[in-house]
């Protein structure tokens, strides 16, 4: 019987499926960070339990690390305590950990792929909803809560209900200037914040196939913004070439044998999905969000919507609330809205390709007066590579801050925060109220639009920079 | 986990849709390494507004929260569940929920009651008319009722979640009964592990 990729991944990881109980699924890789793990480790200690497979567990500091130079201390005592707790817990339970400043440290969803420990056919979990990122490699990857973190630490398994499958097919090629971020914003806008709930999404079609691994990660990353716990892309030669030579994979014949097995992680041609959404890539344009949830999307060339544009009474109320919080007037062209802060970073858009796209726009220009612009590479490896390519100097010359890696202003757990009333153009994934700092107003954009916006001081596309 | 069979208490109408977990507990609270004390951070940005419903004296001490569609979307933070429970909530009633939030709630014994939107709206009206009205969430019989008015609806929970709530079972303990199956699976799996990839200091070998 023809199976979807999700069904193949599921079937391969069933440990037990007892009657009347959820299926017990094996977890191949458990990624851990400082924020959602301390209470789980406490739980283990309390019950005298150990970590079943430290060799399938990898930890890094990312969520609350300051992005100031590594030589400066962590000033927030609560953050400091949490970072120390991660190191102590990993030491006690025998888990490899990358603390702040370590050469392999970075955002958990950036380091897994770049170290080659994220591999096709795996089940991967992490106490973070953007774990969906790793699905770009044809692996089943999803976010879990702290109780489940403890469960995986203790048993290397999770009781799971099988999800429904949804194909999101993006046909054709996008116009020049349209990035993976624009494609996923278009998808989230179509599905809404709940449209993917209960589903695992497989992204497919020419527009997805022609994306780099970085682009596919950007798309899978935001699956959760449409309510889906996991996103998938089938394995192809792009996947295999990305992984070749990375630390976590073997070399030579052993790699070729592994790659042959990986090529099977695709949906069968006649496999059936429970739902499908079809998009035409040629109709995708540069987008940004205007409101307080990631489905509130508008074209960069568009205007702030009005509550009257919506039929549903509840939706009109929600739109009015969002407009009030965002301090926006319906009908205002998006391109006329000034910003205070620009953030290029996060697990959505902080990889080398994102930094290259941003630097390409920034080269030879300068950040507008009164705009603070931050570039936060996703990891030390990304940062080092960018520096080898001279991208740091391009950003510094253009007036951007070049910072140390971490989650940073995506969620404002470290000192990189918006002040109340400030408006940001951000390459991150969530524009929730207060997400980047209490009272802050977030607009989600692609790296190229973020940088163009920083240079012109208002929402702008790269082609306006040289005009 | 504490067993929960029957919740009887007053209910608060939140009347908002898309309440993401960043709203339930802002990230500033996530730096803590403890599991308790998050109630003070619950909806903390909204609680500054004196008009916010949790600041309304007639709802003080309520144990049931009634919310709009897509409650608990976004971040996986279980802190959202800890905050709701620490504040005193024992059940959340809404038309739909974020998947990860729903899972997290079931691990802690916070009862998730999904009703049709029109039923949630009716219930909201009943508790707005008279905030002192008692609402019952009966996990055993999968029923929500407002005894004073005779209003009654049923809801569904998967069989295992219901059993676990009724008995207060610990998920890890349940899984450990499958120890032999896990070991057998591990012997046949060829998924690579991290063994040999990093040295003791986390550097690539």
Residues 48-77 of A with CB under 8 A from B: 49, 52-53, 55-58, 63-64, 76
Enumerate the residues of chain B whose CB falls inside 8 A of the CB of residue A127: 76, 78
Rounded to 10°, the helix A352-362/A380-388 angle is 40
d(CA A358, CA A270): 40
A355 in Cβ contact with A391 (< 8 Å): yes
Q: Model confidence over A96-140: pLDDT tens digits?
A: 999 999 999 999 999 999 999 999 999 999 999 999 999 999 999
Chain B residues within an 8 Å CB radius of A24 = 175, 178, 181-182
Nearest one of A99, A9, A104, A85 to A40, comparing CA atoms: A85
Indicate the residue of B16, B79, B197 with minimum beta-carbon distance to A117: B197
Mean pLDDT of A426-452: 98
**Cα(A396)–Cα(B66) distance, rounded to whole angstroms?**
50
Measured between alpha carbons, how far is B184 from B8 in angstroms, rounded to an integer?
45
d(CA A440, CA A419): 6
In the predicted structure, residue A46 carries a pLDDT above the cut 80: yes
Give the model confidence (pLDDT) of A215-266 as tens digits. Answer: 999 999 999 999 999 999 999 999 999 999 999 999 999 999 999 999 999 9
Query: Quick check: A20 pLDDT over 90?
Result: no
How far apart are alpha carbons A192 and A186 in whole angstroms? 10
Q: Residue B151: how many CA atoms within 13 Å on its side-chain side? A: 19
> pLDDT at position A313, please?
82
Asked if A174 reaches chain B (Cβ–Cβ under 8 Å), the answer is no
Q: With 80 as the cut, is the pLDDT of residue B17 above it?
A: yes
Q: Which of A140, A145, A426 to mutate to test the interface with B (most CBs of B within 10 A)?
A: A145
Check if A114 contacts B (Cβ < 8 Å): no
Interface test with A, best of B51, B69, B73, B76 (most A CBs within 10 A): B76
- Residue A138, number of CB atoms within 10 A of its CB: 28
- Tell me how close the Cα of B150 comes to any Cα of chain A, in angstroms: 27
| Dihedral of alpha carbons A236, A239, A245, A249, sign | negative
| Residue B147 distance to chain A (closest CA, Å) | 28
The SS3 of residue A280 is strand
What is the DSSP-derived secondary structure letter of residue A407? S
Smallest CA–CA distance, residue A322 to chain B, in Å, is 11
Q: Is the pLDDT of residue B126 over 90?
A: yes
Comparing CA positions, the residue from A54, A155, A182, A123 lying closest to residue A445 is: A182
The interface residues of chain B toward chain A in range 65-84, judged by CB-CB distance below 8 A, are 68-70, 73-79, 81
Q: DSSP character for A70?
A: T
The whole-angstrom separation of Cα B200 and Cα B205 is 10
Q: Which residues make beta-bridge pairs with A289?
A: A297
Average pLDDT in chain A: 97
Q: Do B96 and A194 touch (CB under 8 A)?
A: yes
Residue A17: predicted pLDDT: 96
pLDDT in tens, A348-363: 999 999 999 999 999 9
Cα separation, A314 vs A35, whole angstroms = 34
> CA angle, corner B49, sides to B47 and B50, nearest 5?
100
Q: Which residues contact B38 (CB under 8 A, 6 or more apart)?
A: B25, B29, B32, B79, B82, B83, B86
pLDDT band per the 50, 70, 90 thresholds, residue A315: confident
- Percent of chain B that is helix, strand, coil (3-state, to 5): 40, 20, 45
Q: Express as a percent the part of chain A with pLDDT over 70.
A: 100
* A161-171 average pLDDT score: 97
> Which residue in B20, B21, B33, B189 has the most chain A C-beta atoms within 10 A of its own C-beta, making it the best mutation to test that interface?
B33
pLDDT in tens, A280-292: 999 999 999 999 9
pLDDT at A314: 81
State the Cα–Cα distance between residues A116 and A243, nearest whole angstrom. Answer: 6
Provide ipTM, 2 decimals.
0.95
Chain A residues whose beta carbon lies within 8 Å of the beta carbon of residue B26: 434, 438
Exposed e or buried b per residue across A43-61, where buried means at least 16 C-beta atoms within 10 angstroms of its C-beta: bbeeeebebbbbbbbbbbb
User: Looking at the DSSP assignment, which residues form a beta bridge with residue A372?
Assistant: A341
Write down the pLDDT at residue A312: 84
Residue A467 in this model has a pLDDT that exceeds 80: no
CB neighbour burial string for A232-261, b if at least 16 within 10 angstroms, e if fewer: bbbbbebbbebbeebbbbeeeeebeebbee
In this predicted structure, the answer to whether residue A270 has a pLDDT above a threshold of 90 is: yes
Give residue-wise pLDDT tens across range A56-75. Answer: 999 999 999 999 999 999 99
Say which residue the tokens 């999101």 belong to: A168
Instruction: Kindly report the average pLDDT of chain B as a whole number.
Output: 96
Give the separation between CA A208 and CA A325, rounded to whole angstroms. 34
Q: Are A459 and A453 in contact (CB under 8 A)?
A: yes
Cα separation of A348 and A395, whole Å? 19
pLDDT at B31: 96
In this complex, is the C-beta atom of A438 within 8 Å of any C-beta atom belonging to chain B? Answer: yes
């Amino acid at each position: 019987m023809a199976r979807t990729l999700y069904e193949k991944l599921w079937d391969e990881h069933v440990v037990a499926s007892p009657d009347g109980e959820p299926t017990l699924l094996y977890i191949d890789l458990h990624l851990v960070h400082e924020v959602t793990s301390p209470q789980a480790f406490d739980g283990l200690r309390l019950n005298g339990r150990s970590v079943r497979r430290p060799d399938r567990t990898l930890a890094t500091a990312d969520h609350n690390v300051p992005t100031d130079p590594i030589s400066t201390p962590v000033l927030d005592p609560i953050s400091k305590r949490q970072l120390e707790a991660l190191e102590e817990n990993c030491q006690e339970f025998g888990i490899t950990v990358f603390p702040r400043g370590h050469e392999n440290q970075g955002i958990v969803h950036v380091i897994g792929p770049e170290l080659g420990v994220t591999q096709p056919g795996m089940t991967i979990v992490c106490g973070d909803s953007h774990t969906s990122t790793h699905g770009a490699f044809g692996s089943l990857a999803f976010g879990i809560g702290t109780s489940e973190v403890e469960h995986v630490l203790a048993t290397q398994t999770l009781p799971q209900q099988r999800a429904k499958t949804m194909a999101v097919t993006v046909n054709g090629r996008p116009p020049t200037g349209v990035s993976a971020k624009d494609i996923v914003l278009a998808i989230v806008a179509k599905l809404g914040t709940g449209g993917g709930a209960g589903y695992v999404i497989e992204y497919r079609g020419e527009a997805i196939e022609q994306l780099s691994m970085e682009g596919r990660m950007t798309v899978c990353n935001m699956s959760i913004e449409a309510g889906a716990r996991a996103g998938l892309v089938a394995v192809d030669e792009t996947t295999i070439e990305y992984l070749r030579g990375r630390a976590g994979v073997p070399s030579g014949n052993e790699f070729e044998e592994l790659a042959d097995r990986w090529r099977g992680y695709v949906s069968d041609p006649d496999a059936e999905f429970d739902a499908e959404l079809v998009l035409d890539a040629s109709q995708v344009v540069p987008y940004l969000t205007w409101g307080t949830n990631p489905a509130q999307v508008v074209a960069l060339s568009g205007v702030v919507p009005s509550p009257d544009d919506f039929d549903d009474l509840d939706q009109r109320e929600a739109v009015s609330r969002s407009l009030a919080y965002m301090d926006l007037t319906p009908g205002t062209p998006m391109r006329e809205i000034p910003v205070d802060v620009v953030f290029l970073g996060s697990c959505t858009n902080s990889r080398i390709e994102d930094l290259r796209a941003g630097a390409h726009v920034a080269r030879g220009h300068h950040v507008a007066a009164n705009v603070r612009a931050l570039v936060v590479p996703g990891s030390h490896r990304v940062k080092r590579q960018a520096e080898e390519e001279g991208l740091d100097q391009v950003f510094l010359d253009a007036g951007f801050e070049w910072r140390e890696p971490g989650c940073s202003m995506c969620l404002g757990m470290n000192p990189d925060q918006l002040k109340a009333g400030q408006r940001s153009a951000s390459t991150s994934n969530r524009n929730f109220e207060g997400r980047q700092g209490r009272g802050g107003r977030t607009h989600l954009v692609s790296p190229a639009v973020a940088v163009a916006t920083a240079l012109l001081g208002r929402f702008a596309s790269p082609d306006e920079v040289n005009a | 986990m504490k067993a929960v069979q029957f919740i009887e208490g007053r209910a608060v109408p939140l009347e908002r849709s898309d309440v993401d977990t960043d709203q339930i507990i802002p990230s500033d609270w996530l730096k803590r390494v403890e599991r308790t004390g998050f109630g003070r951070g619950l909806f903390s940005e909204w609680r500054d507004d004196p008009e916010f419903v949790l600041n309304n004296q007639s709802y003080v001490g309520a144990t049931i929260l009634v919310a709009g569609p897509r409650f608990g979307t976004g971040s996986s933070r279980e802190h959202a569940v800890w905050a709701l429970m620490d504040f005193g909530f024992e059940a959340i009633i809404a038309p739909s929920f974020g998947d990860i939030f729903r899972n997290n709630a079931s691990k802690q014994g916070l009862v998730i009651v999904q009703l049709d939107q029109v039923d949630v709206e009716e219930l909201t009206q009943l508790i707005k008319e008279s905030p002192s009205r008692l609402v019952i969430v009966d996990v055993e019989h999968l029923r929500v009722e407002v005894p004073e008015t005779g209003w009654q609806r049923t809801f569904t929970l998967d069989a295992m979640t219901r059993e676990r709530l009724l008995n207060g079972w610990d998920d890890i303990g349940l899984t450990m009964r499958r120890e032999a199956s896990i070991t057998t699976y591990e012997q046949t799996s060829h998924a690579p592990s991290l063994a040999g990839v990093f040295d003791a200091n986390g550097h690539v070998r």
